[in-house]
Amino acid sequence: MLIQATERTVFCGDGGRKPSQGEALVVFVHAAGADHSIWTLQARYFAHHGYAVCAIDLPGHGRSAGPSCTTIEDMADVVSSAISTLERDVAMLVGHSMGALVAIEVAARLPNLIHRLALLGAGIPMTVNDQLLTEARRDVPKAARIITGWGHSPGARMGGHPAPGLWMMGGAARLIERVSPKTLHADLSSCNRYQAGCEVFTKINCPTILLNGSLDRMVPRHASVALAQKISSIESIDINSGHFMMSEKPDAVLDVLRKFIDRAPACD
């Protein structure tokens, strides 16, 4: 579905089912260079189990036209506006990597609306390698190879997709290659520059979980630990995967999200 967010028109995947009135909203926010399709399994599950789903394509990604946003705060403006447009009384936020930083900003801005916050593959600071930033600007396919190489565990780099016939490394690279060099560079630069102040974390008062890929080379373990120390009421959970945990361990990720989100209060 297409919705208005700030002055932009953005696409939101609904998980394959038109939401009904009164359902709590689950908002999924993708990583740098990605789009709503990374949440296919999770979005479909929640859409068919009593939730309204919005798997957003940030500007310049997937089915949302550009130009892309150039800061995490600008992305949070878009997501906050999309949530307001959808007019729900209860919302949950799920963000991966860059999307987790966006989700942190949104949760701080909408503390009375956001009832659950799930952060996947997240850390602060989220430092980006200089070589990757350079390649993102001049050679997206090469940048995609770097990201997929660092972002997958050794087993995933050798195959082993849960769905027979699919290739995790190739699928992730093709997804990243769909964005423009300007967009990928803007995404990675936004992550690299983002430094949330203490005031952001003190405004987050909802239960929060942090899912860490135990074999993640994109977001170092110390960055995840530093993030976990900043948010109260947070639970840290390890997933035996690399950074792309939704494709490497889709069922494990869904199980954690399902148990976590199902404990949220229902809409009135």
Please give the pLDDT value at position 222: 85
Q: Residue 16: CA atoms inside 13 Å, Cβ hemisphere, count?
A: 11
207-226 per-position pLDDT tens digit: 999 999 999 999 988 889 88
List residues bridging with 114 in a β-sheet.
91
DSSP-H helix ranges across 178-249: 181-193, 198-202, 221-228, 245-248
pTM of the model: 0.95
Q: Which domain holds residue 99?
A: 2-126+195-261
pLDDT of residue 109: 95
In a domain, 102, yes or no: yes
pLDDT, tens only, 97-126: 999 999 999 999 999 999 999 999 999 999
Residue found under tokens 């396919």: 141
Specify the pLDDT at position 268: 46
The segments of the chain whose pLDDT lies below 70 read 160, 165, 264-268
8 Å CB contact between 35 and 61: yes
The CATH number of the domain holding residue 248 is 3.40.50.1820
Report the alpha-carbon distance of residue 243 to residue 251 in Å, rounded.
15
- pLDDT attached to residue 197: 79
Residue 111 located in a structural domain:
yes
What distances in angstroms separate CA 183 from CA 13, 32, 35, 187, one per listed residue?
20, 9, 12, 6
Q: Does any domain span residue 167?
A: no
Q: Does some domain include residue 268?
A: no
The domain tally of the chain equals 1
pLDDT tens digits, residue range 166-177?
788 899 999 999
